[in-house]
Amino acid sequence: MFSKVLIANRGEIAVRIIKSCQKLGIEAIAIYSDADAEAPHVKLAGRAFHVGPSRVSQSYLNMDRILAVAKEACAEAIHPGYGLLSENPEFARRCQVEGIIFIGPKPEVIAKMGGKVRAREIMKAAGVPIVAGFEKHINDVAQAKGFAIELGYPVMIKASAGGGGIGMQIVHKDDEMEKALKACQGRAKAYFDDDSVYMEKYLESPRHIEVQLLADNYGNTIHLFERECSIQRRHQKVVEEAPSAFVDEKLREKIGNVAVQGAKAIGYSNAGTVEFLMDKDKNFYFLEMNTRLQVEHPITEMITGYDLVEEQILVAAGKKLDEEKDKPKLQGHAIECRIYAEDPKTLLPSPGKVNSLTLPEGDFVRNDFGICSGYIVSPYYDPMLGKIITWGNDRQEAINRMVKALEDFQAEGIKVNIPILQKVISHPKFIAGETHTNLIEQILTEE
């Protein structure tokens, strides 16, 4: 087992990982930028090292500096959290070279799933259903138009190196193709330094359903059921729940097994998530695989009793899973609301000082936050401040507890998206479980 683990992340997820380290008796080593000198994750950690200026490119993405700190602190392993370096195969490889365990899958597995065209190819070969589309990059507008005619409009152009919906463009007709192609390539180049894009059929108002996996270093893989993350805005998840109200036991077993089959085909290890789109007839299609811990992992923890971060650390240290005995039992229902620093009217970012913060309390309410009263939310980082998670014996009880929790949440000094979350949670369509990826836009335009 490890005695020291470096957490190469910030915010709520760094806090979350430190807590599991402490539970296991591991010393947590934090890193921080200029802007984060006073952040809760720095105060909570056993030791903390400054790694650079506020911009992530000079601090949280600075591999040389982070690896040097890990060596100086004698960390045996690095937990990358989500975002930042978590899906960077080069970072995982460099950890390997330095003799530090990267808490995640092997670098070649990260690389295989990171290229979205290649991931489609691999999953198709493994018998996992994929969205109609092409396993090749688009060269020019003429070729794109040809592809679109073959698939039938509307189609989606996506960044091959991407994820999280960055750069994604929906194209309804030929005239829109050139602009959409350029826009997607431009964003892909800016964000991923790789302008290759590909095309898939656009599914109208699908559900976003994902399966949580856990695999050890010996090929044993289990699934921890599905999460539904259909409530999204600008392709960013806002409300998630587990299990999905749309998935019955039979479908749950089927989609779970398909995800396990895909993971085994690539030699997956550690925690990971296979994302699917599901249509109204319950057909599901592979979207992408996230080779890391997800933001929304707490809802899976709430319905299974597993501590996923603890499991990640243990399997990275060599723990063996038993595919039969370690199968989780599904208990109750959990909902997560992401709290964003944004103006609920203009939907624009709202950084600034948190003058006071009151988090909801109560049984079956969990708060995962990386801020506190007096903390300055910087414009340099993601607007997500944290998450509120509630559990209930059934879906309605979890919703009722979330309604109360959102009422009790108070942050002064910055604007947060609480009014939007309240609208979603109390909307008849959400309550009825009739969720899809365009529901927030519909709710917001109803006024």
Partner 1 sequence: MKVIYATMAGLVLSLLVSHGDQLNSGEDAVILESMKMEIPIQAIDSGIVKEIKVNIGDFVNEGDALIVLE
CB under 8 A, 24+ apart: contacts of 252-258: 252/225, 252/226, 255/209, 255/211, 255/226, 255/284, 256/211, 256/223, 256/225, 256/226, 257/223, 258/127, 258/128, 258/129, 258/211, 258/284
Rounded to whole angstroms, the Cα distance separating 25 from 11 reads 21
Q: What is the nearest approach in angstroms of partner 1 to the Cβ of residue 74?
A: 34
Residue closer to partner 1, measured from CB, 56 or 321: 56
Does 194 bind partner 1 (CB under 8 A)? Our answer is no
Residue closer to partner 1, measured from CB, 191 or 364: 191
Residue closer to partner 1, measured from CB, 10 or 436: 10
Does 350 bind partner 1 (CB under 8 A)? Our answer is yes
Reference 343, options 412, 418, 409; nearest CA is 418
First-residue to last-residue Cα distance in the chain: 55
Does 381 bind partner 1 (CB under 8 A)? Our answer is yes
Residue 118 backbone dihedrals phi, psi, to 5 degrees: -65, -40
Residue closer to partner 1, measured from CB, 49 or 381: 381
Does 53 bind partner 1 (CB under 8 A)? Our answer is no
Among 305, 346, 363, 446, binds partner 1 (CB under 8 A): 346
Sign of CA dihedral 247, 250, 251, 256: positive
Query: Binding segment for partner 1 among 110-118, 143-151, 373-381, 432-440 (CB under 8 A)?
Result: 373-381
Among 349, 372, 408, 423, binds partner 1 (CB under 8 A): 349
Query: CB-based contacts of 178: which residues, under 8 Å, 6+ apart?
Result: 141
Residue closer to partner 1, measured from CB, 192 or 380: 380
Size of the site for partner 1 (CB under 8 A): 13
User: What is the secondary structure of 274-306 as a DSSP string?
Assistant: EEEEE-TT--EEEEEEE-S--TTHHHHHHHH--
Q: Kindly name the residue from 233, 252, 292, 401 that is annotated as catalytic.
A: 292
Rounded to whole angstroms, the Cα distance separating 163 from 199 reads 14
What six digits make up the tokens of 437? 């990826």
Query: Binding segment for partner 1 among 23-31, 147-155, 310-318, 344-352 (CB under 8 A)?
Result: 344-352
Q: Is the peptide bond before 379 cis (omega within 30 degrees of 0)?
A: no
Among 18, 184, 341, 418, binds partner 1 (CB under 8 A): 341
Rounded to whole angstroms, the Cα distance separating 186 from 173 reads 20
Q: What is the nearest approach in angstroms of partner 1 to the Cβ of residue 352?
A: 6
Does 97 bind partner 1 (CB under 8 A)? Our answer is no
Residue closer to partner 1, measured from CB, 187 or 395: 187
DSSP 3-state of 84: coil
Query: CB-based contacts of 64: which residues, under 8 Å, 6+ apart?
Result: none
Among 279, 351, 364, 367, binds partner 1 (CB under 8 A): 351
Residue closer to partner 1, measured from CB, 268 or 381: 381
Query: CB-based contacts of 408: which residues, under 8 Å, 6+ apart?
Result: 358, 359, 360, 361, 362
Among 129, 379, 419, 433, binds partner 1 (CB under 8 A): 379
Rounded to whole angstroms, the Cα distance separating 110 from 197 reads 19
Q: What is the nearest approach in angstroms of partner 1 to the Cβ of residue 402?
A: 24
Query: 78: which strand partners?
Result: 6, 102
Q: What dihedral angle (degrees, nearest 10) is formed by the CA atoms of 233, 237, 239, 240?
A: 150
Does 343 bind partner 1 (CB under 8 A)? Our answer is yes
Does 326 bind partner 1 (CB under 8 A)? Our answer is no
Q: What is the DSSP letter of 176?
A: H
Neighbours of 204 (CB within 10 A): 11
DSSP 3-state of 217: coil
Does 417 bind partner 1 (CB under 8 A)? Our answer is no
Does 383 bind partner 1 (CB under 8 A)? Our answer is yes
Query: Binding segment for partner 1 among 141-149, 302-310, 321-329, 381-389 (CB under 8 A)?
Result: 381-389
Q: What is the nearest approach in angstroms of partner 1 to the Cβ of residue 377?
A: 8
Query: Binding segment for partner 1 among 111-119, 210-218, 313-321, 349-357 (CB under 8 A)?
Result: 349-357
Asked about 292 being catalytic, the answer comes back as yes
Residue closer to partner 1, measured from CB, 179 or 429: 179
Q: What is the nearest approach in angstroms of partner 1 to the Cβ of residue 333?
A: 31
Residue closer to partner 1, measured from CB, 306 or 381: 381
Query: CB-based contacts of 281: which residues, under 8 Å, 6+ apart?
Result: none
Question: Tokens 């340099």 sit at which residue?
Answer: 380
Does 34 bind partner 1 (CB under 8 A)? Our answer is no
As annotated, the active-site residues are: 292
Point out which residues bind partner 1 (CB under 8 A): 341, 343, 346, 348-352, 379-383
